Structure 1
């Protein structure tokens, strides 16, 4: 496939330059164009034909929220990654952007010398390659929406210089600074290897037969915000089992994320706190930068929140959650691993399966990044692969048929 083209939309020249350098330094990515606000972005889409858009929220003339509303109104389905501030108010607005159709978000790097710059770069590239690659496949298959003709006329015409009659392609764009540091230098061989595929390993032999399902645990990463919105909107309101979730997400965002899910889910969704009851009718989301574990007690199960070191580079870690479920519930759980880069959750999901619990994995076609579920499948820890569109029904079915 061709390189994934990225439209960068931010009113800060520094941020446009930083994001541009990240795109330029990454494999299979290229800059389609840049714009200083949402209005200019809409003007450029017809000519730039991006596969994905990186969008700031706070901008003059047309901010990120207004852009997403206009995008929805004119029927564009080009995926959008939000550049979010770390402040609490930024978290709330970021979740509003997801509700308006944005695909995912990354927190803004604070500058070229920022300690978190390489981390943000890696996350952003992963998202651009995942969502942008999926959109390219949609274009090849003919299922991507065509840019409406009225968009070509109404927005592109505003870029014509009335004096010269020429298209002002460079409006609002600055060139990248020569000699800028290479912001994305990490080896992506591991990421590419994840896509090569291997046959599934022989499944572990469970030490006991599956028992009734008493709890459901989900591990998910890139692609997770919208995937969980789709699944939880269709979850059975009479589900008898509690659900616990690790979604890789920075600190400060998971509370608002849980609140946004709570608005569309028939069950209660909340950010987990130390000592929370793990009970039917409730979904607990692991807090950002904290591990979530479950302890099963004679009268009730409770949530534990810890600051233990990251596992597989993540805190919260799906492996930590699945490990506690395997230890406390053995064969009486349903473990689910979904879209995401890397291998977090794969080893402990296999351990959960070996204990006798039932397990599901999201399939390759519907995953934004088929990393975590692929490794879990290769380790033999996945009983059944399920598409995202069928995941809610699969959960409902297993929970209903094997209720305790």
Structure 2
């Protein structure tokens, strides 16, 4: 088995050493070089040809975001951002995900994280995942006209809901979808994006500045409104319940499901219990199988339409693939066509 070649980028010599030691403790990973800033990283990406790059966000000369843009232009390579869990760090990380970063790991103690070893296993797992990920360049995504798909008609008087589950590669994919959803969508949208606490607020705020529809991090007790998108907070499960004739968000800190909190299955299972209504269920890019079991229950509703993101446009095809294997997916759709299909399904 070939080792995964990694380039470690950080302006702190101490952090470069810490990250290198963590990664090289795994025999499957080989650190082929380090870089002290974004300019150095871009040059060494061309010279060393790593399989994966770990990239600090805040650096002199050329910061992580600038380096990422250059890398994606010169030699597209899977990048895992190493971010500080601050408001600025969270915002910059969301920008990095938009511009092609595969995933990120949060430094737990600021820019120089003395306890990075506490997330050592997570960092190694992210590197291995990134090595098998697809770097999706928007201009190179396959283009096609949407075929006509025959589905049972949804009566106009039936309440509608769009439910989306997504993980690795999600921020960039959600931007592509939500920017193309009109404010006239006759349904609220609820989203579970696998992401740590703190970063879902940055994601929601960023998407809200880009989209015509309103995007917010969900709060417990939110009444779901048409044309509004609710993103489950990191560290909390989100359910949709009916209360006094309204659909509301209920947030809990119940145990993790499928290794995640929030979990797509928790959201889907809750929606399946609603007494009435039609749902468009969407499973997008991500690792694992979260959402598949919930999708089976959702499809017991004759007014459930289910979509899965295509392999060609997924950074990681795990979640869509497992959803498709349930045989409960009505259509596999390219990322750039998902918004159009969601709208037409409502």
TM-score (norm 1): 0.72
Asked if residue 108 in structure 1 is aligned to residue 103 in structure 2, the reply is no
Conserved 8 A contact 2:7-2:53: yes
Asked if residue 130 in structure 1 is aligned to residue 133 in structure 2, the reply is yes
Asked if residue 360 in structure 1 is aligned to residue 295 in structure 2, the reply is no
Instruction: Look up the match of 2:328.
Output: 381
Q: Compared with structure 1, are the counterparts of its residues 12 and 125 closer, same or farther at alpha carbon in structure 2 (3 Å cutoff)?
A: farther
Q: Residue 116 of structure 1 aligns to a residue in which SS?
A: helix
Q: Compared with structure 1, are the counterparts of its residues 377 and 71 closer, same or farther at alpha carbon in structure 2 (3 Å cutoff)?
A: closer
Instruction: Look up the match of 2:83.
Output: 84
Q: Distance in 2 between matches of 1:248 and 1:113?
A: 21
Asked if residue 325 in structure 1 is aligned to residue 271 in structure 2, the reply is yes
Question: Per-residue CA shift, 1:89-135, capped at 9, x if unaligned?
Answer: 3212322333455443221364577433223332343234314xx57
Conserved 8 A contact 1:68-1:101: yes
Deviating beyond 6 angstroms after TM superposition, the runs of 4 or more aligned structure 1 residues are 208-211
Q: Compared with structure 1, are the counterparts of its residues 50 and 329 closer, same or farther at alpha carbon in structure 2 (3 Å cutoff)?
A: farther
Q: Compared with structure 1, are the counterparts of its residues 324 and 108 closer, same or farther at alpha carbon in structure 2 (3 Å cutoff)?
A: same
Instruction: Look up the match of 2:37.
Output: 37
Conserved 8 A contact 1:83-1:108: yes
Instruction: Look up the match of 2:121.
Output: 118
Q: Where does structure 1 lack aligned partners over 5 or more consecutive residues?
A: 145-207, 400-404
Q: Where does structure 2 lack aligned partners over 5 or more consecutive residues?
A: 142-151
Q: Residue 250 of structure 2 aligns to a residue in which SS?
A: strand
Report the alpha carbon displacement of residue 76 of structure 1 after superposing the two structures with TM: 5.3
Q: Which has the higher strand share?
A: 2
Asked if residue 64 in structure 1 is aligned to residue 67 in structure 2, the reply is no
Q: Distance in 1 between matches of 2:314 and 2:69?
A: 26
Query: Paired residues, what number?
Result: 327
Instruction: Look up the match of 1:175.
Output: none
Question: Per-residue CA shift, 1:129-179, capped at 9, x if unaligned?
Answer: 314xx57xx9xxxx79xxxxxxxxxxxxxxxxxxxxxxxxxxxxxxxxxxx
Instruction: Look up the match of 2:93.
Output: 94
Report the alpha carbon displacement of residue 32 of structure 1 after superposing the two structures with TM: 4.2
Report the alpha carbon displacement of residue 306 of structure 1 after superposing the two structures with TM: 0.9
Q: Compared with structure 1, are the counterparts of its residues 300 and 341 closer, same or farther at alpha carbon in structure 2 (3 Å cutoff)?
A: same
Conserved 8 A contact 2:32-2:50: yes
Instruction: Look up the match of 2:47.
Output: 47
Report the alpha carbon displacement of residue 14 of structure 1 after superposing the two structures with TM: 4.0
Q: Distance in 2 between matches of 1:40 and 1:20?
A: 17
Report the alpha carbon displacement of residue 346 of structure 1 after superposing the two structures with TM: 0.8
Q: Compared with structure 1, are the counterparts of its residues 54 and 120 closer, same or farther at alpha carbon in structure 2 (3 Å cutoff)?
A: closer
Report the alpha carbon displacement of residue 350 of structure 1 after superposing the two structures with TM: 1.1
Report the alpha carbon displacement of residue 317 of structure 1 after superposing the two structures with TM: 0.5
Q: Compared with structure 1, are the counterparts of its residues 86 and 326 closer, same or farther at alpha carbon in structure 2 (3 Å cutoff)?
A: same
Q: Which has the larger radius of gyration?
A: 1
Q: Distance in 2 between matches of 1:225 and 1:113?
A: 24
Report the alpha carbon displacement of residue 276 of structure 1 after superposing the two structures with TM: 1.2
Conserved 8 A contact 2:78-2:131: no
CA RMSD, aligned part only?
2.9
Conserved 8 A contact 1:32-1:50: yes
Q: Distance in 2 between matches of 1:237 and 1:27?
A: 51
Asked if residue 296 in structure 1 is aligned to residue 242 in structure 2, the reply is yes
